Chain A
């Protein structure tokens, strides 16, 4: 049985850990609020962008083949998988969920004889991929909410160029979707080719009531520049959602850790009291035995 003194030392150590996990929980809560505000702040841009594209698509009939980003490649020979993780851990299964899903995708494509490129955001995903021997095509580390749009643009520029020249045929995005502080789930989307939702905005009735816009430089160029912007904002939004999810996951993980530390302290206190009781009983027994021996 551990001695009274050993147990007391362990209690102090657990108490210190509890202080840290409680502090981390509070920091995560504050960051979560900021991350949620960031998501909200993108809404006006995203809504305007969608309306804008909607208007143009109504104006310029989009047939599936004219714009490379709307075109589905007949045969899939190579794919890109974008995985959004965090730079830090201590957030429960936040990072592991993403890397697991991304690697599953890579493996299942491989089983079909299809090669895939990994684009990873976050140190955690980057080091896990390297450790497990997955080839990383591009990685973006130390992303903050200030630079997130730049990262989204850099990621998008790369995949768009390669999709347009048909050196990749499909692009997946794997990230933690933010539902609430307590709830995040892994979401996986195909972001290229652009799904029908956009092209379906085009209706013959809509076309007949178009406005007479002037275009600088030309309608075709404007639309072909707008479509990448649509991908950029989708990727940016996913990055922001992932950042909010990270804080939510960390808050939950740290709360669980603080609770566990509290329980451990209770149990150790009980054990400590028992150990003290035991040593007192032992001493009394020894004294009594000694007295008995003298009396005998």
Chain B
């Protein structure tokens, strides 16, 4: 295909909780640790470490999709991108009130940990709460940006 107009690459977005997206796309933009990385059809073999952020996809149909992704990896090989992300949700599928509750809950638990007011029958791991907080905030951000 000389003009390249109809050239696609295959995208598979997979999270531990299950596959999130699979399809032919024109472009993928992933949040790599070294900065945003655009991947077009016939990209050279690549392995990139991803950070928490927003991943964008230009589908074969010409529409942009947006995903909230947490840390992970992307592998490009044989005109196929496999994105392994710790969590991944399509922007329109994000439950914003739930994410907001998540932010509040994490902040409350971190506060309990900081002030030493964790109830006798509960335990707080600050690292876990930080992780939850970061992800919930990213979800809200991506949902707003769309």
Contact = CB atoms under 8 A, between A and B. Distances in A.
Interface of B: 12, 14-19, 32-34, 37, 44-49, 72-73, 75, 77, 82, 84, 86-87, 121-123, 125, 127-128, 131-132, 135
Given A154-B125, A225-B73, 5 more contacts: A41-B19, A45-B19, A216-B48, A226-B73, A232-B86
A36 interface: no
A103 interface: no
A150 B46 contact: no
A214 B45 contact: yes
A241 interface: no
B125 A225 contact: no
Interface stretch (A71-79, A136-144, A163-171, A177-185): A136-144
Contacts of B122: 141
Contact of A153 (B32, B47, B84, B86): B86
A149 B17 contact: yes
Interface of A: 38, 41-42, 44-46, 48-49, 52, 56, 123, 126, 138-141, 147, 149-151, 153-154, 157-158, 211-217, 219, 221-222, 225-226, 229, 232-233, 236
Nearest to A47: B14
Contacts of B46: 213-216
Tell me the dominant secondary structure on chain A's binding face.
Answer: helix
Q: Taking each of B16, B125, B127, B128, which has the highest tally of chain A beta carbons within 10 Å of its own beta carbon?
A: B16
Contacts, number: 99
B77 A211 contact: yes
A52 B86 contact: no
A123 B123 CA distance: 10
A216 B16 contact: no
A140 B18 contact: no
Given A42-B18, A154-B127, A214-B46, A48 B82 contact: yes
A151 B15 contact: no
Contact of A150 (B48, B73, B132): B132
Contacts of A213: 45-47, 77
Contact of A48 (B17, B45, B84): B84
A141 B49 contact: no
Nearest to A120: B123
Contacts of B34: 216-217
A229 B15 CA distance: 12
27 contacts: A38-B17, A41-B18, A41-B19, A45-B19, A48-B14, A52-B75, A52-B84, A56-B47, A123-B121, A138-B123, A147-B132, A149-B16, A150-B132, A151-B128, A153-B128, A154-B127, A157-B127, A158-B125, A212-B44, A213-B45, A213-B46, A213-B77, A216-B37, A217-B34, A222-B49, A226-B73, A236-B16
B73 to A, nearest CB: 7
A127 B127 CA distance: 22
A128 to B, nearest CB: 14
Contacts of A151: 128
